[in-house]
Structure 1
Amino acid sequence: MTTEPSTEHDPRPTFTRALDQAERQVAAVRPEELTGPTPCSEYDVRALLGHVVAVLHKLATAGRGGDARDIPSVIDGIADDDWAGAFARGRSELEEVWADAGRLDSMVQLPWGKLPGRTAIEAYTHEFTVHSWDIARATGRLADLDPDLAERALEGFSQFAPPEARSEEGPFSPTVQVPDDADVYTRLAAFMGRRP
């Protein structure tokens, strides 16, 4: 039996761009930067990279029909000089799983709920965009970021995590005020509760 392909928007090309950006940021991190602070107060650079690699594995697991909650939030034990390799391996696994367009319409179990695959890919596109900024801010490489991805993330998170639904205990901190003329990544970071 064959099924008609979905005519809904395919989020994977934009997701690929977000992964490309994150991969460049991860690959640029030098070993001496790993203990530096990040805008994510609970993570230094090493832990943030471990989280980003974990997210790749979470989404691959969910795409295969598993439970993303089975993957730790941070993957430890990666050698200081192997973060780019760890990201590339996790990305390869994830892209192999999500190459099947049928997965976009299946329900997947994420750490914070069960969603259609299409929605999960869009949400994680925005997460990788924010974490690219986190890494870039921590290591001083802000000039290399794609503003279009930030515009999309700001729009997506405005719907997914509106300010009135935030608290200090939840996954998203309250928004931080920045000037109206701040660049889009500064506005995105502030919207996510970072202090840019």
Structure 2
Amino acid sequence: MTRPGPRPADPLAIPGLPDPVLLLERALEHTRPVLAALRSTARPGLLELPTPCAAWTLGELLAHMDDGLAAFDEGADGRVDVAGSPSVPSFPSLTAAVRVDALCRRSSHLLGRWSAAPPPLTRVDGVPVPTGLVALTAALEVAVHGWDVAAAVGRPAPLAPALARDLLEVAAVLVDPADRGVRFATALPPAASADASTRLLALLGRGRSRPAATNHGVRRTGEPRAS
């Protein structure tokens, strides 16, 4: 999970933002089939494949996703310790099939947790933020990392137009200029005819002209890594 950057005083009051939990559900619906397909194509060397996340192999990206889902799970209780210990310290040594199974189980559990009336505020490393903002962050990360995984194995999975449009609204709130070069790469200029999925990915530094995004996430070990 990445730490939130500077935010408006009440970002959830901005017109046009989608319902956080419903958006998270839609993001999970996009990414689950990607993970299921990955399990069925497990092969030697799969976890060493490069990804659109700079300097991360597919195995490291899956470990990051697992750690992020664990953090977002905590967020449903009103607390996230970004700098805490990873929930599955042995995850990097697991096989691709076992990793994907763990991610699928955690994603199913996550939605149930967020659907159970979480508290209005969540403390992220002690800083209170609107809980809905945490769910929106989860939706953005889940959907885009699902795209990253599909791209890494050569099975493109464009985001559905409506989902991409809603995530563009979210990214406008979540991605601060100060995040560039830290959490996200410099935005790419999309073609005038680009669809919403392409525009979202370009906004987050992903695209054909930049196969390896340089955005940085923070594992809960505190180690900065490209995500």
Q: Same fold (TM over 0.5)?
A: yes
1:193–1:171 distance in 2 versus 1, CA, 3 Å: same
Instruction: Work out the CA distance in 1 between the residues paired with 2:186 and 2:143.
Output: 19
Aligned to 1:132: 146
- Cα shift at 1:139: 1.9
Instruction: Work out the CA distance in 1 between the residues paired with 2:207 and 2:21.
Output: 30
Residues 34 and 45, structure 1, Cα contact 8 Å, conserved in 2:
yes
Instruction: Work out the CA distance in 2 between the residues paired with 1:181 and 1:189.
Output: 14
Aligned to 1:55: 68
| Amino-acid identity (%) | 29
Aligned to 1:93: 109
1:63–1:136 distance in 2 versus 1, CA, 3 Å: same
Partner SS state of residue 34, structure 1: helix
After superposition, what is the alpha-carbon deviation per residue over 1:25-51, rounded to whole angstroms, capped at 9, x for unaligned? Answer: 112113233221111013111111111
Residue 120 in 1 paired to residue 134 in 2?
A: yes
Which amino acid letter does the alignment assign opposite residue 100 of structure 1? A
5+ residue gaps, structure 2, are: 1-17, 209-227
Instruction: Work out the CA distance in 1 between the residues paired with 2:73 and 2:157.
Output: 30
Instruction: Work out the CA distance in 1 between the residues paired with 2:98 and 2:173.
Output: 36
1:73–1:190 distance in 2 versus 1, CA, 3 Å: farther
- Cα shift at 1:108: 1.5
Residue 18 in 1 paired to residue 32 in 2?
A: no
Match of 2:42 among 7, 12, 31: 31
5+ residue gaps, structure 1, are: 1-8
Runs of 4+ displaced beyond 4 Å: none
**How many residues were matched structurally?**
185
| Paired residues for 1:1-196 under 5 Å | 10-29=19-38, 30-32=41-43, 33-69=46-82, 70-72=84-86, 75-101=91-117, 103-105=118-120, 107-110=121-124, 114-143=128-157, 145-162=159-176, 164-168=177-181, 170-196=182-208
- Cα shift at 1:156: 1.1
TM-score w.r.t. the length of structure 1 is 0.80
1:73–1:156 distance in 2 versus 1, CA, 3 Å: farther
Q: Select the structure that is richer in helix.
A: 1
Instruction: Work out the CA distance in 2 between the residues paired with 1:88 and 1:127.
Output: 15
Instruction: Work out the CA distance in 1 between the residues paired with 2:162 and 2:62.
Output: 23
TM-score w.r.t. the length of structure 2 is 0.71
Instruction: Work out the CA distance in 2 between the residues paired with 1:128 and 1:152.
Output: 14
